[in-house]
Amino acid sequence: MTTDVTAPWLIVGLGNPGPGYAANRHNVGYMVADLLAGRIGGSFKRAQKAQAQVLEGRVGPMGPGSRRVVLAKPLSFMNLSGGPVAGLRDFYKVPTANIVAIHDELDIDYGTLRLKLGGGDNGHNGLKSMTKSMGPDYHRVRFGIGRPPGRMQVADFVLKDFSPVERKELDFLVDRAADAVECLVTEGLERAQSAYNS
CA angle 174, 145, 150 (to 5 degrees): 150
**Strands lying side by side in the sheet with 45-46:** 45-46, 52-59, 67-74, 9-13, 99-105, 139-144, 113-117
Q: How far apart are CA 178 and CA 102, in angstroms?
A: 9
Q: Residue 55: beta bridge partners? A: 71
Residue type, 31: M
26 is catalytic: yes
CA torsion through residues 133, 134, 135, 140, sign: negative
Residue type, 62: M
Q: Indicate which residue of 26, 103, 124, 139 is catalytic.
A: 26
| H/E run at residue 157 | helix 154-158
The terminus-to-terminus CA distance of the chain in angstroms comes to 23
CA angle 187, 193, 196 (to 5 degrees): 100
DSSP 3-state of 107: coil
Catalytic annotation, residues:
26
